[in-house]
Structure 1
Amino acid sequence: MTLARIALGTVGVAGAAVLLVVVAGTFLPRIPVIGFFGSFVSGQYPVHVVPAALVGVGLGLGLVALDVPRLGLTVAVVGGIALLGSLVVLAALRATGRTEGVRIDWALALRAVDQSGAAPDVTATYRPGLDLEVFLPAGPGPHPVMVWVHGGSWVRGTRADRSRSNRWFADHGLAVVAVTYRLPADPTLPGATLGEAQRDDVAAALAWVRGPGREHGLDPTAATLAGQSAGATLALTTTAALAGVPGAGLAGPAPTTPPAATVAFYPVVDLRLVAPGLQDAVFGGRAATLPALTRAASPRDLVAGSLPPTMLVVGAADNFIRADLVRAHDAALRATGVPGRLLQVPYADHVFDHPYGSPGGQIARPAVLAFLRARAWTPTRHP
């Protein structure tokens, strides 16, 4: 009996500690470390907290049954608090889903915890050493298309980071072109910083869609730039460069015209605030000493009425890129006359949509599709 008490007590205390951190971080997201952990779990795996909390309650009751009442009641109470907190989060997500016309599949949220299981229809080279993957809808086209730019803090990442989501968009009539762009280990254009070269790559991918991409049924008149995190920032700043916004720029001449719309999942809007090491990578030096390069890479400095319709998506508890800055950027865009919208996912932190089944991902995909249908597709060609 003593061994059982020790084992159950150890597991119970450890589980209660984790649940307590999740709950505290979810509802107090600005607490250092704990806030990030809690909102990260509640953003990506909120449904999984429910069975974990129930297990916590069960462990606590088991300890009570083994005549360890104080510890057992403490563990059970923490589990109960975690269960209540998780239900609050799920209710908020459900309400947001209903507002967006989405019925969340809770079973999908439990089982689809990554983006695996979806292969592209076409892989092509759009620049020497740089490939892209094309996810195509059924039928001959022409298909509206979203050029997807992966994240990774400008120094890592892969075009396969949202493969299953890309397939979902294709199955709903929107082709997706997932782009590889240059990273620090790759050669850049002569005389260009990495940030400039990456924007040049994104612009070249858009130009490919409007050129060789036509052979794959892509519609050059309904092309959107989109991305997540650093990729979202690249999508916004590349769009600004193509739209001729003062201060924006590419490594070379603009190879095409601006996209029909831009979609940015939790973008970094001010690169003055990123870590010094990332500033060195993107600009070749510190932001304070390179104001022109910093401006060209920071969406906050590139707000103009000439920008196409722009949708921003962010977790309401995103501490990594600061959700308040994204909200402020959205307000600045609208004040300048740029049409678009802001979608906030409650209790979610950065990359909340990385699990394909996450409630935030289930909400965001249809919302983005509806936005592009309204703002970027040619109605007579894409009913």
Structure 2
Amino acid sequence: MTLARIALGTIGVLGAGGLLVVVLGTFRPRIPVIGFLGSFVSGQYPVHVVAAALAGVGAGLGLVALGVPRLGVVVAIVAGVALLGGVVVLAALRTTARAEGVRLDWPLALTAVDQSGSAPDATVRYRPGLDLDVTLPPGPGPHPVMVWVHGGSWVRGERTDRERSNRWYADHGLAVVSVGYRLPGDTPLPGATLGEAQRDDVAAALAWVRGAGRAYGLDPGAVTLAGQSAGATLALSTTAALVGVPGSSLPQPTPTPPPAATVAFYPVVDMTLIAPGLQDAVFGGPAASVPALTRAASPIDLVAASLPPTMLVVGKADNFIRADLVRRHDAALRAAGVPGRLLQVPYADHVFDHPYGSPGGQIARPAVLAFLRERAWSPTSRR
């Protein structure tokens, strides 16, 4: 009995402590550290939070039954509060899903905790040292295509980070080309900073889709440029450069038109706000010392009516890139006459969609697909 009390007490205390951090951070996301942990966990794994809270209530009741009533009551109360908070989060996600016409798969949210379980149909070298992955819909083309730019703070990341989501899009008629681009340590582009070289790589991938990509059944008239985090920023700034927005730039001419639409998952819109070390990596020095380069990389400075339809996706509690700045950027785009929309996922922080089954991911994928069907698919590729 003593060992059982010790074991259950230890589990109960540790579990209650973790649940307390999660529930505090979920509803007070601006609390340093705790806010990030809470919103990050609730954004990616809300169903797991509810399951853990139920287990915590059970542990508390078990301690009471084992003759440790005070500790048991405390554990049960903390777990109960976390359970209530988790239910609030799930209810908000369900409301958002209904508004988007999505039926959430709760077992999927519990079991699909990463992006494993799929693979591209082809891997192609699109320029020296750089590859892209092609994930295709069933049947013959021409297929509308989304060129996907991965995140990783401009200094890391993999083009394989959304493979299962890419397959979902392909199963619903949208081909996905996931692009690898230059990172620190790769062969530099002569005369260009890393940030400029990365935009050049993204533009080259678009040109590949409209050229050699035709052999894979890709529709050159229905190309969307999309990405997440740093990749979303690259997608927005590269689109602006191809459109010719004042202040935008590419290090060398790229013979390809701008995409038909742009989709940006939680982009960094103001590059003056990134960490000093990242400024050094992207610009070769502090952002303040290279204002032209900084402007060319900052979507907030690249707003014009000539931009294609643009969809922004963000977690309402995103602490990493500041969701308020994304909302402000969306307002600026609409004020300039750029068609598009903003999708906000409640109680979600950065990379909320990395688990394939996350409710935020389940909501975002159909919303993006519907937006592109309306705004970017050419008549020849409509289904």
Unaligned 5+ runs, structure 1 = none
Measured against aligned partners, the alpha-carbon deviations of 1:90-113 in whole angstroms (never above 9, x if no partner) come to 000000000000000000001100
Q: CA deviation at 1:255?
A: 2.5
Other-structure match for 1:148: 148
Other-structure match for 1:259: 259
Q: CA deviation at 1:120?
A: 0.8
Is 1:43 aligned with 2:39?
no
Other-structure match for 1:14: 14
Q: Which letter does structure 1 place at the counterpart of 2:271?
A: L
1:128-143 to 2 correspondence within 5 Å? 128-143=128-143
2:123 aligns to what SS in structure 1? Answer: strand
Q: Which letter does structure 2 place at the counterpart of 1:155?
A: V
Q: Which letter does structure 2 place at the counterpart of 1:269?
A: V
- Asked whether the equivalents of residues 135 and 170 of structure 2 are also in contact (C-alpha less than 8 Å), the reply is yes
Other-structure match for 2:199: 199
Other-structure match for 2:337: 337
1:353 aligns to what SS in structure 2? Answer: coil
TM-score (norm 1): 0.99
Measured against aligned partners, the alpha-carbon deviations of 1:270-294 in whole angstroms (never above 9, x if no partner) come to 0110100000000000001110000
| Matches of 1:214 and 1:89, distance apart in 2 | 44
1:210-289 to 2 correspondence within 5 Å? 210-289=210-289
1:304-383 to 2 correspondence within 5 Å? 304-379=304-379, 381-383=381-383
| Matches of 1:126 and 1:8, distance apart in 2 | 56
1:126 aligns to what SS in structure 2? Answer: strand
Q: CA deviation at 1:379?
A: 3.4
Other-structure match for 2:116: 116
Other-structure match for 1:177: 177
- Asked whether the equivalents of residues 233 and 268 of structure 2 are also in contact (C-alpha less than 8 Å), the reply is yes
TM-score (norm 2): 0.99
| Matches of 1:267 and 1:185, distance apart in 2 | 24
Q: CA deviation at 1:70?
A: 1.2
Q: Which letter does structure 2 place at the counterpart of 1:349?
A: D
Other-structure match for 1:293: 293
- Asked whether the equivalents of residues 207 and 254 of structure 2 are also in contact (C-alpha less than 8 Å), the reply is no
Q: CA deviation at 1:183?
A: 0.1
Q: CA deviation at 1:380?
A: 5.0
Query: What value does the CA root-mean-square deviation take over the aligned residues?
Result: 0.7
Q: Which letter does structure 1 place at the counterpart of 2:69?
A: P
Q: Which letter does structure 2 place at the counterpart of 1:152?
A: G
Measured against aligned partners, the alpha-carbon deviations of 1:294-318 in whole angstroms (never above 9, x if no partner) come to 0011100000111000000000000
- Asked whether the equivalents of residues 203 and 256 of structure 2 are also in contact (C-alpha less than 8 Å), the reply is yes
Q: Which letter does structure 2 place at the counterpart of 1:51?
A: A
Is 1:91 aligned with 2:91?
yes
| Matches of 2:255 and 2:34, distance apart in 1 | 45
Measured against aligned partners, the alpha-carbon deviations of 1:217-237 in whole angstroms (never above 9, x if no partner) come to 000000010000000000000
| Matches of 2:45 and 2:340, distance apart in 1 | 29
2:156 aligns to what SS in structure 1? Answer: coil
| Matches of 1:380 and 1:4, distance apart in 2 | 67
Measured against aligned partners, the alpha-carbon deviations of 1:241-282 in whole angstroms (never above 9, x if no partner) come to 000001111111133110000000000000110100000000
Other-structure match for 1:58: 58
| Matches of 1:255 and 1:177, distance apart in 2 | 19
Other-structure match for 1:75: 75
After TM superposition, where is structure 1 displaced by more than 2 Å over at least 4 residues in a row?
A: 1-4
Q: CA deviation at 1:378?
A: 1.7
The percent identity for this pair of structures is 82
Q: CA deviation at 1:199?
A: 0.1
Q: Which letter does structure 2 place at the counterpart of 1:193?
A: T
Measured against aligned partners, the alpha-carbon deviations of 1:12-47 in whole angstroms (never above 9, x if no partner) come to 111000000000000000101000000001110000
Q: CA deviation at 1:123?
A: 1.1
1:350 aligns to what SS in structure 2? Answer: coil
Unaligned 5+ runs, structure 2 = none
| Matches of 1:181 and 1:380, distance apart in 2 | 30
- Asked whether the equivalents of residues 141 and 381 of structure 2 are also in contact (C-alpha less than 8 Å), the reply is no
2:187 aligns to what SS in structure 1? Answer: coil
Q: CA deviation at 1:2?
A: 2.6
| Matches of 2:61 and 2:210, distance apart in 1 | 63
- Asked whether the equivalents of residues 283 and 293 of structure 2 are also in contact (C-alpha less than 8 Å), the reply is yes
- Asked whether the equivalents of residues 144 and 381 of structure 2 are also in contact (C-alpha less than 8 Å), the reply is no
